[in-house]
Amino acid sequence: MGAISEFMGRDHERLDALLEELRTPAAATRAKELFARFDAGLRAHIVWEEEIFFPAFEEKTGMRSMGPTAVMRMEHETIKQLLQAIAQAVETSAPTDSADTLAEVLSAHNLKEENVLYPALDQSLPAEEASVLLARIERAAELSRGAARRRR
């Protein structure tokens, strides 16, 4: 397993754990805080893919309008719509099945990324280039964590 697969797989696990916690009945009293963390984390993850990894992969492979990154971008739009629906439900304390739907969508989406896209990224990018991209993401993640701590 390459560096990108490992890093992004760990982030999937972190996000899956947050979503699973959010879906528990006990989380109702903390739903806004849990969802805010999950939403920010998932949106950051999508940005890392779409603005850092996907362009590098497309440059190396020539696959731009077709291929795995095009599929992932379409699925990201569905994920963002579900995040919006959950945000509205959390804000108004309304019941919704959007979190369950999102869990199903993310499960299939993450499998494709972990079994197809991330390994393809690891294979197509030289180790040095992958390290540079991961360093950019780690810096962005640290900045996001710092901003989140300041908001609390």
pLDDT of residue 75: 97
Q: How confident is the model at residue 11 (pLDDT cuts 50, 70, 90)?
A: very high
pTM for the structure as a whole: 0.89
> 2.40.10.120, 1.20.1270.360, 1.20.120.520, 3.30.1490.20: which CATH number matches 3-151?
1.20.120.520
The full set of domain ranges for the chain reads: 3-151
Query: Per-residue pLDDT tens for 113-152?
Result: 999 999 999 998 899 999 999 999 988 878 766 665 555 5
| Residue pair 31/51 in contact by the 8 Å Cβ criterion | no
Cα torsion for 137, 64, 108, 96, to the nearest 10°?
80
